[in-house]
Structure 1
Amino acid sequence: MKKRIGIIVSVFIVAFVISLGSEKNGCCAATKEQTKDVMALTGITVDKKGKMIGTKKKVTRAEFAKMLAQASPYSGEIAKTEKRIFFKDVNKEDKNASYINFVATKGYMSGYLGGKFKPNQGITVREAIYSVLTLLGYSKEDFSGNLAEARYEKYKELGLGKNIVKREASVLNQTDCMYLFYNLLNAKKKSGEIYATTIGYSVTKSNKIDYQSLLAKKRKGAIIVKDSWQKKLPMSLQQFEVYKNGKKALASDIKNYNIVYYVKELKKLWVYDQQVFGTVSEIAANTDGVESITVNGKRYATEHSKRISTLLEKNKIEAGDEIVLLLGREKKIASVLSVKTMIAEEGWEKKLPISLKNFELYLNDQKVDNQSIEPYSVVYYIKELKKMWIYDKKVYGVLDAFTIQNTQLNELSVDGTVYTAEHPKIMKKNFKETKVKKGDFIVLLLGRDDFAYKVLPINSVTAIGNWRNQIPFQVESSIINKNGKKITANQIENYDILYYSKELKMIWDYSKRVYGVVNEIKPDRTAPEEITVAGKTYSLKGNPVYGENLQKEYSLGENKWGGQFAEKNIQVGSDVVLLFGPKDAVAAIYPVEKMGVTIVGYVLQRETKMIKEVNGTFGLKDSIKLVDTSGVVREFVCMDKTIQKGSIVEVSFDTTVPTIKKLIHPGNINFTSENIKIADDARIIDVNDKNYTSVSKKELEELKWNVGNILYYRTNNLGEITDMVLANVTGTVYQYGILKEIKDGNEGEYSEVSFICNIGGTDGEYEVDEKVNWGQGIGPKAFRIENNKIKEMKDMVSVPVRFIDGKQANTGKNVYRISDKALVYYLTNGTYYSGKLEDITEVNGNTIYGYVEQQGGAIRVLVVMK
């Protein structure tokens, strides 16, 4: 099945997801950075402007009092603290007065003799230790001996001094305080709890303050980048530190329909551009809204269930629709965009919500600038993103099968390949409207990820009579393809099989034909499934193509081929022409006299024999046996005495009695074997005396020959050869192997003997019914065999092989093609042993000879001498 994994919107590969960074990746690369952020989020260590601190500037006792108050379990009571003068040097209107009074009241800090607090004096390590230990529940009763030393040891034991390198009498700076309070949050109280938990914060499994939890409480978003989105920010965008997909970025890197989150306290902004395109397969909802959406088999949780529920309802999105998921944090759905689809048929651009030139275009997943879009391409677009994806892939072939489940057409098979319908309900409706059925030739439009989007019907007609009137568009201005090439309407020949698409205004021309007598029809003539003509069997699985008359309506259940056979009186013994369509499938069958067929053949034999007359009596008649260019052997009564063995004749079936005409040699030929134009479905035979073989265009291209080998040729309207008779080009009238032993004869003499040979890789003894010259005796030979008797045998030309590369042998001067049926032998102590070409791994150390029938021909035998 043609299914592949997901699409990212940027390249349109369904459900493929770009790896994302997170706030953690963006801001927690170092301990100091995380410490700084935690302090900012808790609000414990900020300067007078609300900025995060982290400098070497000294911290005063007044500033420390504020930090201490904000880190205490009673920070909410600060505003209620009475604003009266506790210390002589603290003004009642001082901004830190309430904090100083609060910590003094709670016993976290104390003043000096004389009623002074000394607010502007730097806070020392010793004083800070006293304060934080008090917060942790320790009092002087918990220490003995030198209290200052005892407190210092406890300070170190609890890890409060981590990252602080100061003596007790030293003054703390802002960075020191940042670490001190961070360490305080992660320290254990005297009672055993982690201090952070006692003031309302969560901790991780490792008993550290939970940074992500702190972040979640302060984070705002998701904000979709569109229109005036920046107005939703608490400050200018330029004041934020920007991270995109986990990496440091610039404000200019933020694009439309990115997802944005921010934390005001950190002045950090996180951007995500993950966009997942796909087909909705499931929408899971609860009382709060949509909790997840499954796209192409992968489930995505929603970040705001009510918001997503509203979006789906607004855009009328349901299972089976294409959408784009805009993913934010933790790959959760932050928003949804609807994807619109259409076929690029006439006038489609006028249906777009904005001009085509405003879209960013992707053709078959590759970004393009050209706005020229092939008709009947599948188009997907997202108005908000101003992006459009065009898929112009079309599959032409026979509809083998389709599957309908629960009123939906889920899958269909074309030429043996199964495709999944992108929209099963729509596809079923498409089939109903177009009336396509199994066996029809169709055009399948493929969308993203090779999903089947739509079927276009293809009609057919045989090019006879008024066939142009049956095609619903101007033939002369249409695109006509023949054998992979574009042709003009004038180059269509009578009885070509034509398939055409009304929507695409395209015609496919097929001209392959086979002539011969019907040998067998299976299972029967009324419901035929296969037909054997001239010894070769052909399937009748497709629907027949009709000619000058429009398609006949057959009764329900009637086999259409059976109807054709009855209508044209085709039966075993009929002389017919098979016309072929795509994939070499039989498209139509006509009696030869109906088509006025003319065939050309090479006469193999002329003889006088008893022939049955029309009235049932027998009489002596001259007859010829010929092989036509299709490779079919035929026999005709022939009174023309000039037609003998080796003649080239033309047989016309214009009437019920064939007309036979002798042809002369083509004479001067105005092309060479190098620039000759041969049709892909050309009928070619190679003859030598009474032997013949069919040759394909590909085989002929690999052989060495010249126009002197041509006995006859015929061309079509394109100037391509469609029929040709060659004289002894292929050498395939011969079989190849090794003459291993000569029995009952003397070498070099003419005698009736038998030979022990290995021919085609098989050992056997062959009789010789006439005198045959065995030339140089034992070794590689070319044999002509009839009825298991050697009629001719000749030596082959040897060429030394220096190295072999695949199916090519290099002699150092020339390169020879190794025949696909080449035989390999090992010669050891005068005895030949069969081998395989793949067994010859190295030439070094071995002497290898290739044997060709004629100089420059293909190597038929390889002998490795050891």
Structure 2
Amino acid sequence: MNGRRIAASMAVVMTATAVMPITAEASTNIDLRKKVIGISGIMSVTNMDSAITRGEFASMLVNASSYRSTVSSVSNTSVFADVPRDHSYAASIRIAAEQGWMTGYLGGNFKPDEYVTLQEAIKGTLALLGYENADFTGDQTGARQSKYHFLELDENMNKSPEEVLIREDCINLFYNLLKTDTKAGTMFGKSLGCELTSDGEINPLTMVDNSLKGPKIVRSKSRLSDYLPFKLSAASVYLDGSPISNSSESISAALENDNGVLVYYHPVSKTVWLYTVGSENENGRSAVFGEITNVIYNSADLMTPDAIILDDGNTYELDSTEMKFAFSTYGDMRVGDTVTLVYSVTTDSSGDETRTVLDYIED
């Protein structure tokens, strides 16, 4: 049960930001880019105007690479005099320096708290694509900038080489990186589960669908921590569709609910979605616990159920083949059984609500 993924329900990943229509003249919408980068786990997509430090950028490079699964919160060694072992980005800085993605300064310092420039960022992203010093002759800096423009890593980037990058710049840069072919000729983003749509943009829905885990009901913070394959303190967390701090008291408050909290998580991006059972959300998913009081069948097909009714009096539509089978005479669920339903809510122009079952967990 916990491994079931319903493709039609992937709209949950779009609840944090709304994707607006893209005109023929406009570049890719920033909301779409934010969603892709957020799901990828490369960086936080909040505080768009904040300047990015060299330490933060080292972390972004590592999170975009194959080293993402091995980096720890504490480095075993101190590579630079101004980066102690317990520095927030010590491990990422060590990896970025060892791989040649970023370099330090004379005197053995890295200056992790200074802001990163586009010139430094270009070197790091080209290195991720597999380009080395030997690939750039003469003026290395100028040659790298030419390659950066040639590969169209500059889309939506309106910065000169010496300018400091803000978070929005990094979202654009890494989104462009994901779409770009490596030196070996493979789209870089494939390693993070990225697929291109027919118009050449990255589809965030397929990224989540590739490895979304859940649903699971948990009733304590310790159970939640045991269920997740990563530390909650390292995760991006959404509660009932809204982003919250991973240390928020809201999580503890939600877990005090008698029926628990519904959990989905995405291991690659370290993103967790929590839904308070019994709290109905207009966006994304909702969850309800109750007893099945009736199964409604199609008058033209008496073996195929169209909906079920719970003891809360609400009707929950069954749209997918999987859900129809589960609540049919051939499935496991019967009138009188208790169940946690995962569902979405839509409201038509007349104000009528439709609740559609996306998944379920047997009690």
Deviations 1:370-394 (A, max 9, x none): xxxxxxxxxxxxxxxxxxxxxxxxx
- Residue identity matched to 2:114: Q
Structure 1 counterpart of 2:234: none
Structure 1 counterpart of 2:20: 29
Q: Is 2:140 the partner of 1:150? A: no
Deviation at 1:279, TM superposition (A): 3.2
Deviations 1:354-376 (A, max 9, x none): xxxxxxxxxxxxxxxxxxxxxxx
Q: Is 2:298 the partner of 1:278? A: yes
Q: Indicate the structure (1 or 2) with the bigger Cα radius of gyration.
A: 1
Q: Distance in 2 between matches of 1:34 and 1:281?
A: 41
- Cα distance change of structure 1 residues 57 and 22 upon mapping to structure 2, 3 Å threshold: closer
Secondary structure in structure 2 of the residue aligned to 1:334: strand
- Please say if residues 56 and 175 of structure 1, whose CA atoms lie closer than 8 Å, have aligned partners that are also in contact: yes
- Cα distance change of structure 1 residues 201 and 279 upon mapping to structure 2, 3 Å threshold: same
Structure 1 counterpart of 2:109: 116
Q: Distance in 1 between matches of 2:146 and 2:116?
A: 19
Deviation at 1:270, TM superposition (A): 0.6
Q: 1:77 is matched with which residue: 55, 64, 70? A: 70
Structure 1 counterpart of 2:158: 165
Q: Distance in 1 between matches of 2:344 and 2:183?
A: 42
What pairs with 1:797-808 in structure 2 (closer than 5 Å)? none
Deviations 1:757-783 (A, max 9, x none): xxxxxxxxxxxxxxxxxxxxxxxxxxx
Q: Is 2:207 the partner of 1:188? A: no
Deviations 1:186-229 (A, max 9, x none): 111112111011344444455543311123257577799xxx9x
- Residue identity matched to 1:77: T
Give the unaligned 5+ runs of structure 2. Answer: 1-8, 22-28, 225-236, 245-261, 266-270, 275-280, 288-294, 308-317, 346-354
Q: Distance in 2 between matches of 1:29 and 1:168?
A: 31
- Cα distance change of structure 1 residues 302 and 327 upon mapping to structure 2, 3 Å threshold: farther
- Residue identity matched to 2:43: T
Structure 1 counterpart of 2:129: 136
- Please say if residues 108 and 131 of structure 1, whose CA atoms lie closer than 8 Å, have aligned partners that are also in contact: yes
Deviation at 1:316, TM superposition (A): 6.1
Secondary structure in structure 2 of the residue aligned to 1:78: coil
- Please say if residues 10 and 208 of structure 2, whose CA atoms lie closer than 8 Å, have aligned partners that are also in contact: no
Q: 1:90 is matched with which residue: 59, 76, 83? A: 83
- Please say if residues 59 and 172 of structure 1, whose CA atoms lie closer than 8 Å, have aligned partners that are also in contact: yes
Deviations 1:445-492 (A, max 9, x none): xxxxxxxxxxxxxxxxxxxxxxxxxxxxxxxxxxxxxxxxxxxxxxxx
Deviations 1:246-266 (A, max 9, x none): xxxxxxxxxxxxxx9977558
Q: Distance in 2 between matches of 1:93 and 1:183?
A: 32
Q: 2:321 is matched with which residue: 299, 302, 327? A: 302
Q: Distance in 2 between matches of 1:238 and 1:207?
A: 28
Structure 1 counterpart of 2:92: 99
Structure 1 counterpart of 2:5: none
- Residue identity matched to 1:270: G
Q: Distance in 2 between matches of 1:235 and 1:82?
A: 29
TM (norm. structure 2) is: 0.60
- Cα distance change of structure 1 residues 121 and 326 upon mapping to structure 2, 3 Å threshold: closer
Q: Distance in 1 between matches of 2:48 and 2:273?
A: 16
Q: Distance in 2 between matches of 1:295 and 1:101?
A: 57
Q: Distance in 1 between matches of 2:41 and 2:10?
A: 26
- Please say if residues 327 and 334 of structure 2, whose CA atoms lie closer than 8 Å, have aligned partners that are also in contact: no
Structure 1 counterpart of 2:358: 334
Q: Distance in 1 between matches of 2:179 and 2:168?
A: 17
Q: Distance in 2 between matches of 1:239 and 1:24?
A: 11
Secondary structure in structure 1 of the residue aligned to 2:298: strand
Q: Distance in 1 between matches of 2:134 and 2:296?
A: 63
Q: Distance in 1 between matches of 2:55 and 2:238?
A: 29
Secondary structure in structure 1 of the residue aligned to 2:70: helix
- Cα distance change of structure 1 residues 25 and 125 upon mapping to structure 2, 3 Å threshold: closer
What pairs with 1:143-292 in structure 2 (closer than 5 Å)? 143-205=136-198, 208-217=201-210, 236-237=239-240, 239=242, 269-271=283-285, 278-279=298-299, 281=301, 283=303
- Residue identity matched to 2:148: Y
Q: Distance in 2 between matches of 1:87 and 1:327?
A: 51
Q: Distance in 2 between matches of 1:21 and 1:103?
A: 34
- Cα distance change of structure 1 residues 301 and 332 upon mapping to structure 2, 3 Å threshold: farther
Deviation at 1:277, TM superposition (A): 6.9
TM (norm. structure 1) is: 0.27
Deviation at 1:151, TM superposition (A): 1.0
Q: Greater CA deviation, 194-203 or 37-46?
A: 194-203
Q: 2:53 is matched with which residue: 42, 56, 60? A: 60
Q: CA RMSD in A?
A: 4.4
- Residue identity matched to 1:28: V
- Residue identity matched to 2:172: Y
- Residue identity matched to 1:79: S
Structure 1 counterpart of 2:292: none
Deviations 1:42-69 (A, max 9, x none): 11112xxxxx334211111011111111
Which structure carries more helix by proportion?
Answer: 2
Structure 2 counterpart of 1:44: 42
User: Which structure's relative contact order is higher, taking Cα pairs within 8 Å and 6+ residues apart?
Assistant: 2
Deviation at 1:23, TM superposition (A): 4.9
Secondary structure in structure 1 of the residue aligned to 2:33: helix
- Please say if residues 282 and 295 of structure 1, whose CA atoms lie closer than 8 Å, have aligned partners that are also in contact: no
Q: Distance in 2 between matches of 1:107 and 1:235?
A: 35
Deviation at 1:97, TM superposition (A): 0.6
Deviation at 1:309, TM superposition (A): 6.0
What pairs with 1:566-645 in structure 2 (closer than 5 Å)? none
- Please say if residues 77 and 85 of structure 2, whose CA atoms lie closer than 8 Å, have aligned partners that are also in contact: yes
- Residue identity matched to 2:298: G
- Please say if residues 75 and 90 of structure 2, whose CA atoms lie closer than 8 Å, have aligned partners that are also in contact: no
- Please say if residues 262 and 270 of structure 1, whose CA atoms lie closer than 8 Å, have aligned partners that are also in contact: no
Q: Distance in 1 between matches of 2:114 and 2:302?
A: 66
- Residue identity matched to 1:278: N
- Residue identity matched to 2:320: A
Deviation at 1:152, TM superposition (A): 0.9
- Residue identity matched to 2:301: S
- Residue identity matched to 1:279: S
- Please say if residues 54 and 178 of structure 1, whose CA atoms lie closer than 8 Å, have aligned partners that are also in contact: no
- Residue identity matched to 1:55: M
- Please say if residues 73 and 199 of structure 1, whose CA atoms lie closer than 8 Å, have aligned partners that are also in contact: no
Give the unaligned 5+ runs of structure 1. Answer: 1-19, 47-51, 242-259, 284-292, 318-324, 337-866
Aligned length: 269
- Please say if residues 75 and 86 of structure 2, whose CA atoms lie closer than 8 Å, have aligned partners that are also in contact: no
Secondary structure in structure 2 of the residue aligned to 1:44: coil
Secondary structure in structure 2 of the residue aligned to 1:191: coil
What pairs with 1:844-855 in structure 2 (closer than 5 Å)? none
Deviation at 1:160, TM superposition (A): 1.3
Q: Distance in 2 between matches of 1:145 and 1:276?
A: 75
What pairs with 1:742-753 in structure 2 (closer than 5 Å)? none
Structure 2 counterpart of 1:315: 334
Which structure carries more strand by proportion?
Answer: 1
Secondary structure in structure 2 of the residue aligned to 1:79: coil
Deviation at 1:301, TM superposition (A): 2.8
